[in-house]
């Protein structure tokens, strides 16, 4: 890719630079040096944006489109104009001062330096982390024309700091602003196998960013218990969006597709927003919503300390049967609503201690007992699946901190662990047709990624 780009730029230089013009010849020298610098930095950026880049792991190819080199074209075009400016890019270094940064950028401009020092927006420059890039455009006298830096953002958009000179260079006026600019979204793909070290070690080994792991946990939360169900030999493949600005990584975005082979069973999820709907959700590849009506567990990272229906519990013996399931977890652990519903009761009840009762559709209700505290909410209020409703405690009849969780249908307690497989709604009619055409496009992308070779990523 680089050699081809060099060829292209070399051609343009031939076209734009007249070697018989003394001024052009001098500019050409400067410009070539500038092009060389930007190329080197561009490559450094490509390798440096993801410290755990997949370039060195052929099992986990990291796909990247050609990097857009900013301002080079403009720079080339400016050769034919009289007021040529030059762009340089530098990385922020630990301990940088305004003076040291500007010096590396080739800016020799006390007015600009004074402006950056006193202007609060411009000083945002120094919120940058070491390694982040700053671009400066200078005129022939090394005076600052403009400066820009990416202050971060989300996957879709970056906040960009722009400092610009207005008016006569002899009497310069500087302005600083922060603007929102759209990022380029790239698809990144990672894959790997679970070894004996377990799921989280495998994610680390495959360089899956933490926020992407979190999304994966949440996508499959209704289907897989990542602490207990995942075994050595399971495999995964994941495609997610990452936002780039001028070739530099800004932030990871949403998981677009994920496959997990667990105990030889294939689980797949695809992000899809139906046409005309702003809200997307995860679906299986055959069009079934991944969102289960009820989560398997109201507490993350817990274990079942007492199952459903067990008798003779030392403190629960007043019940003929254990009507729920106990999850052992430290006091203060967040308790989540397992399904969308409405608050039916929040307060104290004999034996249960602090309890929240939620009413759901179709006669379902859920009970969360022995809480140490409640989230702010009142009777009749709507709660969403996964919303925190309270905190684990040991109020009421409880020997130690745990959550007593009941799942009832028309007030008859059922084993919550046995209802995880409740049917989920599927897309139908035209929505299903749209989904399937989207899926086939996405699948062909993923299949292309499967055989993608990093060496050919520029083609
Ligand atoms: Zn219990």
Residue 433 has what pLDDT?
A: 86
Q: Going residue by residue through the chain (459 aa), what tens digit of pLDDT does each one get?
A: 333 433 333 333 333 333 444 444 344 334 433 443 333 333 333 333 333 333 333 344 444 444 444 455 555 555 445 567 888 999 999 888 889 999 999 999 999 999 999 999 999 888 888 888 899 999 988 999 999 998 888 888 989 999 999 888 788 899 999 999 999 988 888 888 998 888 999 999 999 999 999 999 888 877 787 878 888 999 998 989 999 987 888 889 999 899 899 988 888 899 988 777 767 888 888 888 777 788 888 998 777 888 787 654 555 545 457 889 999 999 999 999 999 999 999 999 989 999 999 999 889 999 999 999 999 999 999 999 889 999 999 999 888 999 999 999 999 998 887 775 565 667 788 888 888 888 887 777 666 655 543 333 333
Rounded to the nearest whole angstrom, what is the distance from the C-alpha of residue 303 to the centroid of ligand 1? 13
Q: Do domains 85-182 and 303-418 have the same CATH topology?
A: no
Rounded to the nearest whole angstrom, what is the distance from the C-alpha of residue 336 to the centroid of ligand 1? 17
Per DSSP, the three-state class of 304 is strand
CA dist 99 and 130 (Å) reads: 16
Dihedral (CA of 243, 245, 249, 251) sign: negative
Answer whether 391's CB lies under 8 Å from 332's CB.
yes
| CATH superfamily entry for domain 303-418 | Glucose Permease (Domain IIA) (2.70.70.10)
Residue 357 has what pLDDT?
A: 98
Rounded to the nearest whole angstrom, what is the distance from the C-alpha of residue 390 to the centroid of ligand 1? 16
CA dist 273 and 259 (Å) reads: 19
CA dist 402 and 332 (Å) reads: 10
Pairing mode, strands 325-328 and 184-193: unpaired
Residue 153 has what pLDDT?
A: 84
- DSSP letter at 426? B
Rounded to the nearest whole angstrom, what is the distance from the C-alpha of residue 219 to the centroid of ligand 1? 28
Per DSSP, the three-state class of 338 is coil
- For residue 340, CA distances in Å to 293, 387, 451 come to 7, 9, 41
CATH architecture of 85-182: Roll (3.10)
Q: Domain coordinates of the chain in residue numbers? A: 1-68+184-291+426-459, 85-182, 303-418
Rounded to the nearest whole angstrom, what is the distance from the C-alpha of residue 297 to the centroid of ligand 1? 14
Per DSSP, the three-state class of 335 is strand
CA dist 405 and 232 (Å) reads: 31
Rounded to the nearest whole angstrom, what is the distance from the C-alpha of residue 340 to the centroid of ligand 1? 23
Rounded to the nearest whole angstrom, what is the distance from the C-alpha of residue 257 to the centroid of ligand 1? 38
Rounded to the nearest whole angstrom, what is the distance from the C-alpha of residue 370 to the centroid of ligand 1? 9
Task: Report phi then psi at 209, rounded to 5.
Answer: -60, 150
Rounded to the nearest whole angstrom, what is the distance from the C-alpha of residue 229 to the centroid of ligand 1? 24
CA angle at 234 for the pair 224 and 457, rounded to the nearest 5°? 110
Closest to 327 (Cα-Cα) out of 312, 305, 296:
305
- DSSP letter at 114? H
Rounded to the nearest whole angstrom, what is the distance from the C-alpha of residue 344 to the centroid of ligand 1? 20
Rounded to the nearest whole angstrom, what is the distance from the C-alpha of residue 377 to the centroid of ligand 1? 24
Dihedral (CA of 246, 250, 256, 262) sign: positive
Query: What residues does 244 pair with on adjacent strands?
Result: 184, 249
Rounded to the nearest whole angstrom, what is the distance from the C-alpha of residue 401 to the centroid of ligand 1? 11
Closest to 335 (Cα-Cα) out of 402, 422, 421:
402
Per DSSP, the three-state class of 170 is coil
Residue 75 has what pLDDT?
A: 53
Report CA 245 to chain centroid distance, whole Å.
15
Pick the CATH number of 1-68+184-291+426-459 from 3.10.450.350, 3.40.640.10, 1.10.10.10, 3.30.470.20: 3.10.450.350
């Amino acid at each position: 890719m680089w050699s081809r780009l060099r060829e292209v730029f070399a051609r343009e230089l031939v076209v734009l630079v007249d070697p018989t013009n003394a001024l052009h010849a001098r500019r050409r020298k400067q410009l070539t040096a500038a092009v060389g610098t930007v190329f080197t930095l561009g490559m450094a950026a490509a390798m440096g944006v993801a410290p755990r880049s997949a370039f060195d792991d052929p099992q986990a190819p990291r796909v990247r489109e050609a990097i857009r080199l900013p301002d080079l074209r403009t720079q080339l075009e400016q050769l034919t104009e009289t007021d040529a400016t030059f762009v340089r890019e530098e990385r922020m270094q630990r301990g940088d001062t305004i003076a040291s940064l500007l010096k590396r950028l080739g800016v020799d401009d006390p007015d600009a330096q004074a402006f950056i020092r006193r202007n609060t927006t411009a000083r945002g420059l120094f919120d940058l982390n070491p390694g982040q890039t700053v671009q400066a455009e200078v005129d022939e006298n090394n005076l600052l024309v403009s400066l820009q830096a990416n202050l971060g953002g989300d996957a879709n958009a970056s906040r960009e700091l722009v400092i610009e000179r207005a008016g006569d260079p002899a009497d310069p006026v500087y302005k600083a602003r922060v603007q929102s600019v759209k990022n380029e979204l790239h698809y990144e793909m990672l894959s790997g196998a679970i070894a004996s070290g377990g799921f989280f070690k495998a994610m680390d080994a495959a360089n899956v960013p933490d926020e992407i792991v979190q999304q994966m946990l949440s996508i499959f939360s209704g289907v897989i218990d990542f602490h207990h169900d995942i075994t050595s030999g399971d495999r995964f493949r994941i495609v997610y969006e990452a936002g780039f600005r001028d070739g530099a990584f800004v932030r990871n975005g949403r998981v677009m597709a994920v496959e997990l082979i667990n105990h030889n069973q294939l689980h797949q999820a695809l992000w899809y927003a139906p046409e005309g709907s702003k809200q997307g959700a995860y679906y299986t590849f055959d069009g079934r919503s991944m969102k289960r009506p009820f989560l398997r567990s109201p507490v993350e990272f817990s274990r079942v300390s007492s199952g459903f229906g067990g008798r003779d519990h030392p403190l629960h013996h007043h019940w003929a049967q254990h009507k729920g399931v106990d999850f052992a977890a430290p006091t203060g652990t967040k308790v989540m609503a397992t399904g969308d519903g409405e608050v039916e009761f929040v307060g104290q009840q004999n034996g249960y201690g602090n309890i929240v009762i939620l009413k759901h559709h179709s006669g379902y209700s859920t009970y969360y007992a022995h809480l140490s505290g409640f989230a702010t909410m009142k009777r009749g209020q709507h709660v969403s699946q996964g919303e925190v409703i309270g905190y684990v405690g040991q109020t009421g009849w409880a020997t130690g901190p745990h959550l007593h969780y009941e799942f009832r249908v028309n007030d008859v307690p059922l084993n919550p662990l046995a209802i995880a497989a409740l049917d989920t709604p599927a897309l139908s009619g035209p929505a299903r047709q749209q989904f399937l055409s989207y899926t086939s496009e996405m699948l062909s992308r993923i299949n292309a990624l499967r055989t993608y070779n990093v060496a050919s990523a520029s083609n």
